Structure 1
Amino acid sequence: MAVTCRAQPSIFRSSYGKQYPSPMDKHVMAVETVEEKTDLSTGIVYRRRIATCKNVIPEILRKVSALKVPDIYLEEESWLNMQKRNMSMKTHCLTWTQYASLSEESVFRESLENPNWTDFTQKGRISVTGAGLLNRVLEAFAQSFLKQGVKKGIKIMETLLQEQCG
Structure 2
Amino acid sequence: MKFFSSQCSFDYPWAHVSASAWKKYPNEMSTHVVAVDVLRREVDPVSGILTTERLITCKQNIPRWLLAVVGGRDTSYVREVSEVDPVAKTLTLRSQNLTMNHLLSVQETVVYSPDTTDPNKTIFDQTARIVAYAAFQRLCNKIEEWSVERFRQNAALGKLGFESVLKKLADAVPDTVLPSEILQPAAAN
TM-score past 0.5 threshold:
yes
Alignment of 1:38-77 (within 5 A): 38-64=43-69, 66-77=70-81
5+ unaligned residues in a row in structure 2: which ranges? Answer: 172-189
Shift of residue 116 of structure 1?
4.3
Shift of residue 141 of structure 1?
1.0
Shift of residue 134 of structure 1?
2.4
Percent of pairs with identical residues: 25
Match of 2:152 among 144, 147, 150: 147
**Aligned partners of 1:44 and 1:82 also within 8 Å:** yes
What do you get for the CA RMSD once the two structures are aligned? Answer: 1.7
Matched, 1:31 2:31: no
Alignment of 1:122-133 (within 5 A): 122-130=126-134, 132=136, 133=138
Q: Rg: which structure is higher?
A: 2
Residues 99, 131 of structure 1: CA spacing in aligned structure 2 closer, same or farther, 3 A cutoff? farther
Q: Which residue of 2 aligns with 1:117?
A: 121
5+ unaligned residues in a row in structure 1: which ranges? Answer: none
Match of 1:103 among 107, 116, 119: 107
Q: Which has the higher contact order (CA 8 A, sep 6+)?
A: 2
TM, length-normalised to structure 2? 0.80
State how far apart, in whole Å, the 2-side matches of 1:145 and 1:67 are. 19
Match of 2:98 among 79, 94, 100: 94
Shift of residue 33 of structure 1?
0.7
TM, length-normalised to structure 1? 0.90
